Amino acid sequence: MSTFIWFLIIFGTIVIVHEFGHFFFARKSGILVREFSVGMGPKLYSKRSGSTAYTVRMLPLGGYVRMAGWQDEEADLRPGMQVSLITGANGKISRINTSDKLMLEGGVPVQVSASDLIDKLTISGYANGDESQLLTWDVDHDATVIEKDGTEVQIAPRDVQFQSVSIWRRILVNFAGPMNNFILAFIAFFVLALTMGVPSTGNQIGTVSSNSPAARAGLQANDRIVAVDGKQTGSFQAVATQIGKHKQQSIKLSVRRGGKAMTLTVKPKKGLIGISSAIDRNIGTALKYSVTEPWQLTRQILGALRSLVTGGFSLNKLAGPVGIYTMTSQAASGGLYTIIWFMASLSINLGIMNLLPIPMLDGGKIVLNIIEMIRRKPLPPEKEGMVTLVGAALVFALMIAVTINDILRIF
């Protein structure tokens, strides 16, 4: 149960931060965000605030920001649909109910004949079952529609649609999700370094294990090992490397304790003497760590992606939700430090994966934006929709294959 809770916290945090990037820059660009969802699948909870419906859905496998005018947007109304309409104080339709899960008090039952909720903002149909008279209603620009599952979202007039803003704003909106993942990792590593510290790069000893070769030789915390058998050691890594060359043989350490220099003899055990580096918790070190650690992880992830292409594709090099759940269990057993570190590394991974030039992913959308910029006109909607559909099918198929492989690896 604790693993499941940590999985929800870690994955939920990463998804919310990612989607908030899209949400924030879409709103700043004048794009209507109809829904901000955490999770996928059937709706569990929905609350509308301002122009956006905030929902929680059953499957904790992701989330989405639903912007007005995206190519995957279904028509709100179709001919023959039975709806009920509420008229606002200005005489225009303010709410449209298409759901049988909710009844609107005072709503007029209408069979839709035609509708345009994008440009003309009108609905035509037959009221109260009277098919002898076709009526037309004007729809308010900020009217809402209650969908089949009971989620109430705002309609999507053309002036607030995704395609109505400049190409540069659209690129920024698409990039903002991965960007937020990188920012989350930066903050997480900074907090870790500032609160729990990071190993010092200097040659100062942090702790000496009791009954260790170092303790028996007289080494103390805060001593600096400046040389091992006459070889200069300016960093703790250099100290460890030089000591590691001597598995069992006695070695001489040049040590500075305060302002005093001394030489101590120690006999390593299997290349170790029982010391650890000092821990830094200053802001400068934390800032450096919050940049260098994400950079190292980014290089490792890019190297792994490169090996998928050059070293032969293998599902064992990938992990889906089941694999991430397993890794969450391992991270949870290591304590809070390991959990935060895992969340930060997973956030970087998600950011990089989303920037891959695959249709449906953010990187694929940016590629389509760049193509539109070069052509100086967007791709035909049917072609863009087909490309996105193919990309979605490939990603979905890969996710199923990875998930099955993760399960097989467990058993």
Residues contacting 378, CB < 8 A, separation 6+: 163, 372, 384
- Report the alpha-carbon angle 43-49-52, nearest 5: 65
The span from the first CA to the last CA of the chain, in angstroms, equals 20
19 a catalytic residue: yes
Q: SS3 for the chain, per residue?
A: CHHHHHHHHHHHHHHHHHHHHHHHHHHHCCCCEEEEEEEEEEEEEEEEECCEEEEEEEEEEEEEEEECCCCCCCCCCCCCCEEEEEECCCCCEEEEECCCCCCCCCCEEEEEEEEECCCCCEEEEEECCCCCCCEEEEEEEEEEEECCCCCEEECCCHHHCHHHCCHHHHHHHHHHHHHHHHHHHHHHHHHHHHHCCEECCCCEEEEECCCCHHHHHCCCCCCEEEEECCEECCCHHHHHHHHHCCCCCCEEEEEEECCEEEEEEECCECCECCEEECEECCHHHHHHHHHHHHHHHHHHHHHHHHHHHHCCCCHHHCCCHHHHHHHHHHHHCCCHHHHHHHHHHHHHHHHHHHCCCCCCCHHHHHHHHHHHHHHCCCCCHHHHHHHHHHHHHHHHHHHHHHHHHHHHHHC
From the list 19, 35, 147, 152, the catalytic residue is 19
11, amino acid identity: F
Structure tokens at 265: 């003899």
Distance CA 313, CA 83 (A): 51
Residue entry with tokens 């008090």: 105
The one-letter amino acid code at 66 reads R
Cβ atoms of 39 and 59 closer than 8 Å:
yes
Residue 283 and residue 208: Cα distance in Å, rounded? 26
Q: Which residues are catalytic?
A: 19
